[in-house]
Amino acid sequence: MTLDKRLNAYRPDLADARLEGKVEASRFVKGEAGMVTAPVADLRPRPDLSAGIDTQLLFGEPLRIFERHGGWAWVQAEVDGYVGYMAEADLVSPAQQTTFWIIQPRTFLYPEPDMKRPRGAPLSLGSRIFPVVQVETRGTRYLTLAGGGSVIAAHCAPLGAPVSDDYVAIAARLLETPYLWGGKSAFGIDCSGLVQLSMMMAGKSAPRDSDMQAAGLGTEIGFDELRRGDLVFWKGHVAIMEDEETMIHANGHTMSVAREGLKAAVERIGYLYGKPTVCRRP
Q: Give the C-alpha separation, 68 to 245, whole Å.
A: 49
pLDDT tens digits, 75-90: 999 999 999 999 999 9
Find the mean pLDDT for residues 108-119.
96
Q: Give the C-alpha separation, 147 to 120, whole Å.
A: 13
Q: Which residues are catalytic?
A: 191, 237, 249
First to last CA, the chain: 20
Find the mean pLDDT for residues 48-70.
97
Q: Give the C-alpha separation, 37 to 93, whole Å.
A: 10
**Percentage of the chain lying above the pLDDT 90 cut:** 87
Mean pLDDT of the chain: 91
pTM: 0.90
pLDDT tens digits, 129-152: 999 999 999 999 999 999 899 999
* pLDDT, position 89: 98
Taken in order of first residue, the domains within the chain and their CATH numbers are: 3-92 (2.30.30.40), 100-158 (2.30.30), 167-281 (3.90.1720.10)
